[in-house]
Amino acid sequence: MDLILLGGPGAGKGTQAKKLVALLDIPQISTGDMLRAAVANGTELGTKAKAFMDAGQLVPDEVVIGLVKERLGEADCKSGFMLDGFPRTVAQGESLERTLTEAGRTIDHVVSFDVDDEELVLRITGRRTCGKCGAIYHLKYSPPPQADTCACGAVDLQQRADDNEVTVRKRLETYHSQTAPLISFYAERGLLREIKGTGLSPDGVFEKTREVLGR
């Protein structure tokens, strides 16, 4: 199954992707995670990307498109993949379409998580991620089993540099102006599966996601 997860910052893409990896046994490809790894490793790409990420802006299309093209060519993507955070512009969507057509593949579903902006701000500012296993928590709505300690045992819950209120409001503006046009792009292609996530728990959203995927 070739899947795309679409939605604003904090809409649930990463959380649902982790649940879907276990259900579908296909890799999660998160461009945000790939870019953060490049920043942490101090690569040339990371240095270039960091300024855009810190400002709540998108990293230029050609940079991200190159990363994804390379990743999709790896062996574990042969029987399917789940794109989390890509495409984020219509140009990225068009490029992906060309890459897949050349490979004789097509997207099966685009799952779009729709959540009100004010809820997204609350979700993002309370988000913490385990530095060891990547588990995602929310201080209030989905707290770790013990304060500061992940279920995996690591005492390494981190807040992303761009998960503050000022940057998240910029990321929301970026989402509405540059990414939301992909909703009609994929609706026109008959691929859009919309899920209203406002007020729903991660498990509630997962149930709806399974329904739209028929799994």
Residues 5-34 that bind ligand AMP (CB under 6 A): 9, 31-32
Is the Cβ–Cβ distance between 47 and 77 less than 8 Å? no
Using CB under 6 A as the binding rule, whether residue 159 contacts ligand AMP is answered as no
| Parallel, antiparallel or unpaired: strands 136-138 and 127-130 | antiparallel
Q: Known catalytic residue: 160?
A: yes
Q: Known catalytic residue: 127?
A: yes
Of 151, 179, 169, 156, which is closest to residue 84 (Cα–Cα)?
179
Options 86-94, 106-114, 139-147, 188-196: segment touching ligand AMP (CB under 6 A): 86-94
Helix (H, G, I), strand (E, B) or coil at 196: strand
Of 17, 24, 47, which is closest to residue 134 (Cα–Cα)?
17
Using CB under 6 A as the binding rule, whether residue 85 contacts ligand AMP is answered as yes
CB of 111 to ligand AMP, least distance (A): 15
Q: Considering CB under 6 A, how many residues would be counted as binding ligand AMP?
A: 16
Is the Cβ–Cβ distance between 59 and 35 less than 8 Å? yes
- The residue from 36, 50, 171, 193 that is catalytic is 171
Cis-peptide into 87, omega within 30 deg: yes
SS3 content of the chain, % helix, strand, coil (to 5): 50, 15, 35
Identify which of residues 57 and 159 has a Cβ nearer to ligand AMP in the complex.
Answer: 57
Options 19-27, 57-65, 132-140, 181-189: segment touching ligand AMP (CB under 6 A): 57-65
Q: Known catalytic residue: 171?
A: yes
Give contact residues for ligand AMP (rule: CB under 6 A).
9, 31-32, 35, 52-53, 57-59, 64, 85-86, 88, 92, 162, 171
Instruction: Please list the active-site residues.
Output: 13, 88, 127, 160, 171
